[in-house]
Structure formats: C-alpha cells, structure tokens
Structure 1
C-alpha cells in the first residue's frame, strides 16, 4: 500500500502558496479595516465569527487538497505571511501603520468623544465599565483615554496629588 494518499502532493505547491497568500491578505484587510477592534475582549459572537471565517476560508485556500504534505505547504504559507508582516511592521513604519490601527481617542479633558464611540460601536456603558476596571469612577478624572490597536483601553488621569519624584542627588 502506497503512502501517496497521506504525504503525496496532488495540487501544485505554487497554487497552494498563491491561494494561501490571497486568502491571508484578504482576511488581514477584512480584520484590519472592517472589524477593527473591540474594547479589549473577544465575545462569543466574535469567536464564532472567526471560526466561521476560518472554515469558509479553508476551502478557498486549499482547493481540493487531500494530503498532509499539501496541508503543511498551506499552513507554512500562512505562518510565513504572519511572520513577514510582524517583521516588516517592526522595521518599517508604513507596514506598522497598515497592520496596526492607531490609538483612537475616546476621552479628552474629561469629555467623552461620542463620535469615536459610535465609530467603534462602543456604548457609554462599555466605556464606563472599562474605566471602572482601571479604578476610575468618574470621567472627569480622565485627562485622556484611547482605544489601542489591540482593543485595550489606555487611560491617563489627572494628577490628584502632587507628584513626588525620588531625589537622585541625595541617593549617593
């Protein structure tokens, strides 16, 4: 019995690489520009969406591959693009700008920027919940708050007490 059904290659490897590359770039653009981010969480609906996208994309990427070797070529292509984009975004600001959304201001000087909340489909309650998790109970305590590219909220407070800095000159 031949092992060709398990490790043979029936689909041209270049076709697998091309299909994998096209789907990778298409999904990257969809996730980057259409589904930008959420407030630091992945809900059940989001997870379900990713699973469904993965299943739908699998058939487009693979054509009709049947063997482990063809699957390895396809997975290797996806790993290559993921690594290549990480490397490029580290070395080139333009690549970073394409792959990572910039911070989006949500609060400035104690005032909520409602337009940006709407843009990301965040409610005031969502924002207030994130602020409470950061130990802030009133928006007026916030100098600025940003929704970061990874979906987390970064908050800069107004100083409530005088800041004390260690005196380096006295330490010697």
Structure 2
C-alpha cells in the first residue's frame, strides 16, 4: 500500500531548498546575461530560465531524484518567487533594471554595421544581411537603424528616403 504522507513530507530542510533554488536561479541568470541576447532565442532570458528551472525542479519531484514532491514544490516556488521579485525590482528601480534586463543593442547605425555589437553577439555580416532580407531590405545602406532585441530578434528601421518591399500599401477607399 502507498504511503501518501511520504510524498508530501520534506526530505531536506526548507532553508536548504530555498538556498539551492536561489543560488541556481541567480547563478544561471548571471551566466545567461553574460552569454548574450542572441543565444536566448525568441523568449526573454528570464522566461527561458524560469521554464528550464521549473521543468528541472518539477521533474526531480516527479522522477524521484528528490525525496518527495514537496521538495520539488519548494524549489518551484523559490524559482517563481525570484522571477517575480527580479521583475518587480527592475520595474520599480529602472537603474537596477538596466543591470538585470538586457537592452536592445544597435547592429546598424546610419547604414553602417556596428562591428563591436556584432562581435559581442558573435554575428557575422552574412547573418545580419540575411535578417535584413527577411525584412525586405537588400542593402545595409537602406537601414537607418537595426537592433538585436532582448529576445534575440532583430528589428529594422529603414531610412525614410528609401523604399522597401515590405512597405504596407495604403488602404483601399
């Protein structure tokens, strides 16, 4: 017969689980922040980190790597708490938010490539021009500004004096 109470008892002290969850979350957050924006893909870095850590913490409780489901629940709660807390701090204090949250980085300014930002993101010129083509732009000189956004996507602001193929047509009247 199953001992249901064994599933819900903690096998480790709550304090130890909180410390483990905190160190893991903040350590991985720092590492992902250092890696760069392009590596985090279409999700925000914090979103990606939360998904990975919650899946890992929850799977430990489900697969038996942790002693009980309660251990996994404490870790999931710790991870969610830190995610919400860091978002709240970044919102409340924008100066701190600049450290916690990635900002857009200019890849093209006034039709010229920003090689420093490209090196930081390990982007070759061919990758930038490929992204421009997805926006309907053939020549870098047609771009006023292009940014790599915090979610890894590239946004493009074309020059006003040039036409692009993805310019919306006026509505029919």
Matches of 1:124 and 1:103 in 2, distance apart?
A: 18
The corresponding residue for 2:96 is: 95
Structure 1 CA distance for aligned equivalents of residues 37 and 73 of structure 2: 30
Counterpart contact for 2:107–2:118, Cα < 8 Å: yes
Whole-Å Cα distance in 2 between the matches of residues 40 and 125 of structure 1?
20
**How high is the TM-score relative to the length of structure 1?**
0.75
**RMSD between aligned residues:** 2.5
Is it true that 1:146 corresponds to 2:127 in the alignment?
Answer: no
Q: Give 1:41 shift.
A: 3.8
Structure 1 residues 86 and 104: CA distance shift in structure 2, 3 A: same
Who is 1:132 aligned against? 133
CA distance in 2, matches of 1:119, 1:32: 12
Indicate if the aligned counterparts of 2:25 and 2:82 stay in contact, CA closer than 8 A: yes
Partner of 2:165: none
Q: How many Å separate the matches in 2 of 1:76 and 1:154? A: 35
Is 2:8 aligned against 1:7? yes
- Equivalent in the alignment of 2:115: 114
Deviation at 1:151, TM superposition (A): 1.3
Per the TM alignment, residue 39 of structure 1 is displaced from its structure 2 partner at its CA by: 7.4
Deviation at 1:65, TM superposition (A): 3.1
Aligned residues: 146
Matched, 1:156 2:157: yes
State how far apart, in whole Å, the 1-side matches of 2:132 and 2:41 are: 14
In structure 2, what is the equivalent of residue 166 of structure 1?
Answer: none
User: Relative CO higher for 1 or 2, CA cutoff 8 Å, sep ≥ 6?
Assistant: 1
Unaligned runs of 5+ in 2: 43-48, 163-173
Partners in 2 of 1:139 and 1:70 — Cα distance? 53
Which residue is 1:73 aligned to? Answer: 74
Task: Tell me how far 1:158 sits from its aligned partner.
Answer: 1.0
Q: TM-score, normalised by structure 2?
A: 0.74
Q: Which moved more, 1:1-10 or 1:18-27?
A: 1-10
